[in-house]
Each structure stands twice: as C-alpha cells, then as structure tokens.
Structure 1
Amino acid sequence: MNLKSITISAALLAASGVAASAADQIRIVGSSTVYPFTTVVAERFGRTTKFATPIVESTGTGGGFKLFCESAALDTPSVSNASRAIKSSETALCAKNGVKDIIEVKVGYDGIVLANAKSAATFTVTTKDIFLALAHEIPDASGKMIPNPNKTWKDVNSALPNMKIEVLGPPPTSGTRDAFQELAMEGGCKQFPEIKAMKKKDKKAYKKICHSVREDGAYIEAGENDNLIVQRLQANPTALGIFGFSFLDQNTDTVKAAKINGVNATFDNIADGSYPISRPLFFYVKGAHVSKVGGLAQFVTEFTDDKASGDEGYLSERGLIPMSSAERTALRDQVLSRLSK
C-alpha cells in the first residue's frame, strides 16, 4: 500500500473507532460468486483487527441489492456483493428508500464456466452452440423463430456428444445468470444476421430472444449455491453446470470446464480477455454507514489492498483474477477518497 493509502487508513481507523458503538458488526449480503472472496477477507479481518468478523450471507446479486436497498438504517446490510454492476432500477430503489450515497468497489475479474464431471466427455462448444442449446426460441432454416426443438447436444452441433441437454445453472436473481445470458447466450444469438439486425430496430425484442432461457427441463435452476452444482455434477456425469471460475479452480479434482470458442477457461485467458465469458466483480458500500459501522472503512481498505486483491494477493489463490496494477491503484485511491469524506 502506498503512503497516501496508509495515511488515509490511519485517519479512517481513528474516525471509525469513535463511532463503533453505533453498530459493532458489518453485515454483507449478495453474490454467491463474490461470497468466497469476501468470506476470506472477513475471516482475516476478524483475526487481525480489533473489530468483529463481518457477517457474510450468500443471497445472490439481485437478492442482495433488495436487502441492501431496503433502508439506510444501521440494522440493514452495509455492503452488497455483486457479480455485475448495479442496475439503474436498483439505484432508484435505493434512493427511494434513503440509500443515496453508494460507493462502488470493483474487486477484480471472474470467468463463467460451463463445466461437467471430470469422468465425463470433454466439451468444446461455441457461444452459438450455447444459444442453440439453451435459448427458449431459436431460428429455423427460414429464419422464423420457433420453440427450441433441440433435445441433445448432437442436435445442436453434429460434432458434439449425443447426450441429453441438461444444464444446471443459477436462478434469475443471480448476477452470474445475468452475465451468462449477456456474454454467452447473446454472444451466440447475434451470430444470426436476422436476429442481430433486430437490435437496431427493436432492442426489447432482440433482448427477449437472446436472453430468454428455455423452460422445458433442459435448463435446471439449481439455486445460488455453486458448491451444490459442483456436487450434483459429480453425481450426474451427463449434466453440465454454470458457475464462476473460482469454484472450478477449487474443484479441479472433480470437475472440468468446456473450451468456449476455442479458448480454455484459465486464469491467464480470463485476465487477458481472450476467454469470451468473463466479467468484473464488485461490492457496494453504503456511504452513510462508513462513519457509523465499526470497521467498515478498514474492511474496504483491507479488501482493496494489494496483499488481498493484488497480483500475488491471497485472493488470487482462491481464483480471483486481479485487475492490472494501474487500474487497481486508481480504483483504490478513488475508493479511499470516497471513504474519507
């Protein structure tokens, strides 16, 4: 950490210490993808500071924002983890309920994988294959949209295994689901010229086609617990699952990721942007809680420090893809400046 950060942290420590009696424990909700990273930081924070270990709950990104935006009261969450940026509708809900000063903190990057049991067939798919497998409607030979008729992966692409399409994935409240629909499904959807042309004429209809997931059993909502999806893949070798790279990284002895558009899901490929299904991760902080919730400023400072989220930080050991040094430094200075106001 640079001298500026150290100076700010010291000042924040003194300021928050005075107000610690207003609320003595940080409460964090939100994304299941960011959850394991936040838990690691929270546990270290509890061990190495005078503050209580923060309470961290995995509620999904959308569910987290609902809780976060309920009120500015001190008995509501101070932090909401998110595997996508906050939506304008969520910002409006927050403002309506008095949560007006929101500090966005970018954590790093993560990839979304399509994985299956290590004992099963290895998949190599394109985003077009993913769209044709999971979309609610797809174009027929004439370009007319029809209910998805594909039952097996071989129906989608003759080069793929003759296996039933059975994909375990997150529910609509999940930021991972949002990102998967945008990056993987829309990525494949727009490869059809007749659909891509629709984007300029009718953006709402275009998004509905590209983002709507089939509801006939091929896609199975498996909740917000990514570890549960990993366990179910072990029990069912014919199924595939959608979850963050960090969970793949922690379970390489039991699951493996499909190659997407010819690119493997690896730390380096996600970091350099060549892996097609990658996204930034965030958490959001209530500015009004910074001076009232004991340790909140220090927790944010810990999370954004290089020892946590840097190239050699302890979160990279858990699968977090760090930002570049320049981006990290600029973000940290900006966030610490907001915290000190």
Structure 2
Amino acid sequence: MKRIVFAASVSAMAVTVSVGAAEARDQIRIVGSSTVFPYTQAVAEEFGNITDFAAPVTESTGTGGGMQIFCGGVGVDHPDITGASRAMKQSEYELCVQNGVDSITEVQIGSDGLSIAHSVDGPEMDLTKAQIFQALAAEVEVDGKVVPNPYTRWNEIDPSLPDAEITVFGPPPTSGTRDAFVELVMIEGCAAFPAIQALEASRKEEVCQRMRTDGPFIEAGENDNLIVQRLQADHNALGIFGYSFLYENQDTLKAVAVEGVKPTPETIADESYTVARPLFFYVKNVHRGVIPGLQEFVEEYVSEEAMGPGGYLEERGLIPLDDQRREEVRKAAIEGKNFTRFTQ
C-alpha cells in the first residue's frame, strides 16, 4: 500500500505557471549532473513506489548542461529540478533570472569524493596532485620552461610510477566533475611548479586549467558508466568520476590514492581525502504546487530515510552531511528558501 507524503506549505510562493498548462505534464522533470543522477534516480524510484504520484523523469545532462536547460524558463516545457556536482555559478544564476527563474532553492544533499580509479587487476598507484597535473595538463614545466606536455608514460613523470601508457578517461568541459577536478587537482598540482607560477596571471590560469588534447586524456562524455566499462576493458587506464561509481563497482575497480589517501566514506567525511566536493540539486520554486508531486518529492529527497546516515542514498555511496547541517538543509528545502548568494 502506498503512503501519501503531505507537503509543508511554502510561504510567499508566487506561482506564475497556469494550472491549465500544468495539466499538460503530470511528472516531475529533472536534469543535471551525472554524479548526482544515481542519487536522484534512486529517490525518484522510491518516490514512485511509496506515493500515488508518477515517478519523476530524470535525465543525465551534466551539471553545466543541466543549468542551461533549468535556467531556460518557467512552465511545463522547462525542468523543475537540476542536479549539480558543484555550486551554481553567478553566470548561471543571471541566466536564470534573465529567463524568469528568479526563485530557486539550493539543496546540498551530501558530499562526494571525486575518484580516480582503475581495474582491480591494475598496479597499485599513489599519485600526488603535481604528478596528475604533469600527466594531464596541455602544458607542463620541464627544466624550468613551460612546454607542450611531452609525457606519454607514467614512469617518465616519476621512475617509481608504473611503466605504462598514460590513458585517463574523464569528464567533458560541461561537467561539474570536470570543474571540480580542475579546481581540486589541476590548479593545486600546478602550484608545485615555479616557472608556471611566475607567468602573467591570465597565462598562468590557462596553463593550470587546460587539459591536454593529444591523446592521453580522453573526454568520455556525461555517462560515467561508459568510463567504468572502459576501465574494465583496459587494466592500465584510469578514470575520473564520482565516488558512487567506484562504490557500485568495487568488485572490478579500485581507487588510486591521491597524496597517500584513498577515497572512502570516512576519508571523504573527515576531509583527509582532499578531492572531495559537495553535491546539490536546485528547485524551481515557481513550479511547486503546480507540477504534481514536486513539493512532496523534495521532502522525500531530504528525508532521513534518503539522505540521513544509514539512508538509502548512503547505501549508494553518498556521504551524509552532519546532523546540524542536514537539518538546516532540510528546513530550507521544504520551506522553499530562496537562493540569495548572488543578491546579497
């Protein structure tokens, strides 16, 4: 027997989508991050099972792509929620406002360890951020000069690393995972090289952030499951994706340590694994009370049964927020607190 989720009231909500138009869509539509997608899909399936509402339609478009679609406008032709593996950028918020999406709630669902992994049959690896930068940057420092990346094998960077070709499958520029990887790994790794740090600011930014395009780094699209499949087929290749994909494939994949630490729920939560990032979804508040089940879906997503310790999202690899932060997020999500980071 299905239970009915009763929605809390959302104060001061200006609903501008007509009821007649809403009747054209009786399912919640969700886009966004491939990293957040498995969690959203799990909540959507649970929501469809425990309520009388239709299960939401979820689509993995990448964080950047999801923001573009989400911010495209209001009404049934536009999605209600977008998932994100990074926070919304100011330019994205401005696009939303420009298109009438001016009441948005930001919901942090938990934390994720951005993982570098490979086949369980591959060699054990422990990489510094500087070594990862040397492997994947378009330009690197060699003998005090900034040059096109000459490295094709790991042991050319450091003799202690495997004598194997550098092959790394990673996310495209539209992905929040790519943004996070550049910020948490590439830029930090770049800081180890004095000739690069001595460059003029805009040139330094370019060198620190630009990924190589000559073969060793391969953009694998927004479907992280395809990266997993490629790693299972090539034991020397590495892949970059969210922790949930490593967690779900522990029988065939293992983590590469970064700065001596592998991603685990414990190391991500205590931040000893330094490639961790928050995960979010964003709600178009004007659609609450108009798109059937949207308010109730948000309540299910932020429930203890979903995002709390021992919840069904933790079982899929999500690292829960601490008790106080989780309660703050839950209250803001249910009440439809307006996103104000760029308006204060």
**Aligned-partner Cα distance in 1 for 2:142–2:197:** 15
What does 1:1-341 correspond to in 2, within 5 Å? Answer: 9-11=7-9, 21=23, 23-142=25-144, 144-196=145-197, 202=201, 204-338=202-336
Change in Cα spacing, 1:292 to 1:339, as seen in structure 2 (3 Å) is: farther
Partner of 2:342: none
Give yes or no for contact 1:22–1:292 (8 Å, CA) kept in 2: no
Residues 63-90 of structure 1: CA deviation (Å, up to 9, x unaligned): 1111111111222100000001111111
Mapped partners of 1:161, 1:316: distance in 2: 34
User: Match for 1:238: what amino acid?
Assistant: N
User: Unaligned 5+ residue runs, structure 2?
Assistant: 339-344
Question: 1:248 aligns to what SS in structure 2?
Answer: helix
What do you get for the CA RMSD once the two structures are aligned? 2.2
Query: Aligned residues: percent identity?
Result: 50
Output the CA distance in 2 between the equivalents of 1:72 and 1:106: 22
CA offset at residue 195 of structure 1? 3.5
Residue 245 of structure 1 deviates from its aligned partner by 0.6
Alpha-carbon distance between aligned partners in 2 of 1:207 and 1:103, rounded to the nearest angstrom: 32
**Whole-Å Cα distance in 2 between the matches of residues 250 and 72 of structure 1?**
36
8 Å CA contact 2:136–2:212 kept in 1: the answer is yes
Identify which range, 72-81 or 331-340, moves more after superposition.
331-340
SS, match of residue 7 in structure 2: helix
Contact 2:228–2:239, Cα closer than 8 Å, also in 1: yes
- Distance in 1, matches of 2:55 and 2:162, equals 48
Q: 1:328, 1:10 → 2: CA distance?
A: 17
Query: How many correspondences in the alignment?
Result: 328
Query: In structure 1, how many angstroms separate the alpha carbons of the residues matched to 2:44 and 2:252?
Result: 28
On the 8 A contact 1:22/1:293 being kept in 2, the answer is: no
TM-score (norm 2): 0.91
What SS does structure 2 have at the residue aligned with 1:120? coil
CA distance in 1, matches of 2:128, 2:31: 34
What does residue 341 of structure 2 align with? none
- When residues 329 and 197 of structure 1 are mapped into structure 2, their CA distance, relative to the original with a 3 A threshold, is farther
**Residue 31 of structure 1 contacts residue 60 of structure 1 at CA under 8 Å; is this kept in 2?**
yes
Letter aligned with residue 155 of structure 2: K
Q: List runs of 5+ in structure 1 lacking aligned partners.
A: 1-6
1:130-188 CA-partner distances (Å, limit 9, x unpaired)? 0000001111222x211011110011111100111110111111111110111011121
TM-score by length of 1: 0.91
- SS of the equivalent of 1:183 reads helix
- Deviations for 1:77-118, whole angstroms, at most 9, x for unmatched residues? 000000011111111111111111111111100011111111
Q: Aligned letter for 1:92?
A: E
Cα distance change on mapping 1:196 and 1:305 into 2, 3 Å: farther
Higher helix share: 1
